[in-house]
Structure 1
Amino acid sequence: MLKQFDPNITRRAMQLARETLEIEADAVRALQVRLESDDSVGHAVGLLLACGGRVVVSGIGKSGHIARKIAATLSSTGTPAMFVHPAEAAHGDLGMVTAQDAFIAISNSGETSELMSILPIVKRMGAPLIAMTGNPGSSLALLADVHLDVSVAKEACPLNLAPTASTTVTLALGDALAVALLDARGFREEDFARSHPGGALGRRLLTHVRDVMRSGAAVPMVAADVSLSRALLEITEKGMGMTAIVDADQRPIGVFTDGDLRRLIERVQDFSKVAIRDVMHADPRRVHPDQLAVDAVAIMEQYRINQMLVVDADERLVGALHIHDLTRAKVI
């Protein structure tokens, strides 16, 4: 049973929730206005595009969590990136950073000691330094090649202490950098799919018909001169709910399905006297092995069919595809 809370507590919670969203939305809008007269983001994108190595993102505490997310977003959108913890960097992990990399340091105060202890070394390496701080006059901001101002009027925390609005603004600006970079790099859906092969988009854009089709002896097919009875045996044995009808060169000239059989039962009594060529559907829908599986799905949906034939460049039958094959492959 759901526990009943004091109505006053509930009302207060709802009020704070609305205020939090309003404060954070106002902070993002203020950042947007600030960027209209500030070309620092353009300079930062230029440095990151020119980077011959990786983008190293670093921060500690809540800024560290935001840094991890920004690095992950950059990596998945065409800009190789990694997170380095500043404390670990001071004890050896700085060896992962090279002069070919670009370094993004995140600190709301701009005075985080763990970051400030390693950044002079980063600068001596020659790696460009981009700072994201809420204090344009801070040590970090002054040390950076480009400073991105993520200051906020106030935190959403009622005590104005816990990083809330400031982390939201930093995260939003990190997303803005990633989007600007992916556009500048000409990053497309296919590129996104290659870095997300386990996701739904990856399966849709990386799975080809040849990866899921049935081939060889599993493909139901009969010659055009066989009886309907023989064709029905082929349909039963192969379990695809259909059979292809092929010519002497194994090019499909027709198809016969379970649905065709149900409609035929109403008007034919003796199947042994019926040739399959007389009841087949001529010129069946077909795809090629190198087409994306999602293209086959689109054709099936358009024509409301559950099976398709797969042919090679010479239009010879090389496979068959059932809607269940696409479902199992999680293309749909």
Structure 2
Amino acid sequence: MASSTTDAAPAGRHRHEKYERLVAAAQARPPLRVAVAHPCDEASLGAALEAAQLGLIAPILVGPREKILAAASAVGPTRVGSDLGAFRLVEAAHSHDSAARAVALVQAGEAEALMKGSLHTDELMGAVVRREGGLRTARRLSHCFVMDVPSHDRPLIVTDAAINIAPSLEEKRDIVQNAIDLAHALGVETVRVAIVSAMETVNPKVPSTLDAAALCKMADRGQITGAVLDGPLALDNAIDLGAAAIKRISSPVAGRANVLVVPNLEAGNMLAKSLTFLAGADAAGIVLGARVPIILTSRADSRLTRLASCAVAALFAAAQRAAKPLPEV
């Protein structure tokens, strides 16, 4: 996910306070043992090494040794200490093999999270969701963007903008629960989930409004737990109290949502990119619903966005250890 902000913002510009708080919270915990799949370019290896230097992760580098060493040379000795002698390196033949071996490290209990290197997301996720030898649980996998929006006083979780294309109601239940669990792991005391649509009234001609109403009733019946839900809500009256007041919407969520659940991947992708490129936001990405959190970064991500993704994974893994693990399938 590209970032339109720089790391050294001028005075008065966005200074990433929300991400900095996440990184500081993660640094207060032991480093997360992360299998980094195929870190064979400067961006992916450099991100893993810097996160290690800051105490966020303890990386296990999985990939072709020569390519990783070449990437370390590109990182350079003056940046985050590119001497790989301090890190475990697991040899793999190619990117598909790197993904499989990284997943195997999790299965063996040697890693507590996965991190995407310079391979395609589909390669990594293919190894994760394999029926035999994968990391599937009873929960649907979903992606969350933890967004640092300059004009907003708290992080916004946007889901799902990367994995589930046109989720069913049953799949949306898992998407919502994954996001709620993440919000609690990040220290959100009251999780307010807005099920977003194009309007705030139920309209049989707009299927997402029907799903929104059903999800709210599922929360009433204990099928979704840990949060207050409302929907359908249009984006404006989900996050802006003034807009909610104009529409005369009275609820504990309207105008104060900290989790936005979109109707489908297209809507989520456009929302996240609009916030990024038009509002100067950054978007840390993580996949949930597997046995361990999966850190998804892009070569276009800013330095702090990459570190924030690692911090989010570390905080979620710590919360996951303290809770009952999801059943495997």
- In the superposition, the TM-score normalised over structure 1's length comes to 0.28
RCO comparison, higher one (Cα < 8 Å, 6+): 2
TM-score normalised according to structure 2 size: 0.28
**Structure having the higher Rg:** 1
